[in-house]
Amino acid sequence: MAEIKCIGVLTSGGDAPGMNAAIRAVTRSAIYNGLTVKGIMRGYKGLVYNEIVEFKSQSVSNIIQLGGTILKTARCKEFATPEGRRQAYDNMMAAGIDALVVIGGDGSLTGAGIFAKEYNVPVVGLPGTIDNDLGGTDSTIGYDTALNTIMEAVDKLRDTASSHERLFFVEVMGHTAGYLALNSALATGSEAAIIPEMETEVDQLAELINHGFRKSKNSAIVIVAENPQTGGATALAERVKKEFPQYDARVTILGHIQRGGSPTAFDRILASRMGEAAIEALQEGQRNVMIGTENGKIVYVPFPKAVKHNKGIDRQNLDLVKILSI
């Protein structure tokens, strides 16, 4: 395998708090190890359209505390085509880039795997997504910050829910996974979490209304994962109006606020550890792997395992929400 002298780093897909901390760690760890670094703007789009800039240590000064990504991010239809990937590879070679570090979610890592296979390019991924839906890692970069953002918002909603004796459905992100919904329900003392992992097993709304509310409760908050399977918070509130008209149901969709804000200490540390580990992995000859953590230790996760969506929900936590909501 050819010696790696220059690393390209990009962020792709939805932004997540902590991405800048990861960019900083990748850049400085590479420079510390005698490598040069190129920043690729706007994800794969920057590779296809040759938006590539040299990064020095000072390029990543004072960014660890910032949300978003200084490299910007964009969806790139062109990269989904063989012609687009050929253009990306040609630009990568012209820029002297020997290996890539891709920071993003399942779509980004799927694209990285295809590109790496087609052109025999060493690629290491970092799990940058608030959804925490990537396999082989206990947590993804941005998940903890998003969880705290949801918690703060729901704490404020609780004040108005109890004042007006209302049932609030709060919709949170999560893609195909219910981690944000379930754990934010636990953190906020919500009455229930409605998640896609349970939708095929039970009518979660009927179970909640019929068994979940005790008579003395004058308000309730239900966290709902955005997903076609759950129908989202709006669909559930409509059902309540029709089937359980005694409840005054309201909807709050938290939306993109969940992606913003300064990353928590946990996400900054996680991103820093993973960024350094990505450079170490490349120097060890690793390729087509995502950096993950299991029980606090760094692990290498093959791309196919990382993007499989078979992580599973902790049923004990689901039961705990029910137990603590009586």
pLDDT for res 310: 74
Domains of the chain: 6-142+263-306 (3.40.50.450), 145-259 (3.40.50.460)
The secondary structure of residue 191, as a DSSP letter, is S
Positions marked active-site: 131
Q: Which residue from 146, 154, 152, 140 is spatially nearest to 193, judged by alpha carbons?
A: 154
As a whole number of angstroms, the distance between CA 316 and CA 104 comes to: 29
Q: Phi-psi bin for 174: left (phi > 0), alpha (psi -120 to 50), beta?
A: left
- Over its length of 326 residues, how does the chain's per-residue pLDDT go in tens digits? 579 999 999 999 999 999 999 999 999 999 999 999 999 999 999 999 999 999 999 999 999 999 999 999 998 999 999 999 999 999 999 999 999 999 999 999 999 999 999 999 999 999 999 999 999 999 999 999 999 999 999 999 988 887 777 789 999 998 788 999 999 999 999 988 999 887 655 576 777 777 655 554 667 899 999 988 767 899 888 988 888 888 888 999 999 999 999 999 999 999 999 999 999 999 999 999 999 999 999 999 999 999 987 777 788 998 898 888 87
Residue 69: phi, psi to the nearest 5?
-145, 125
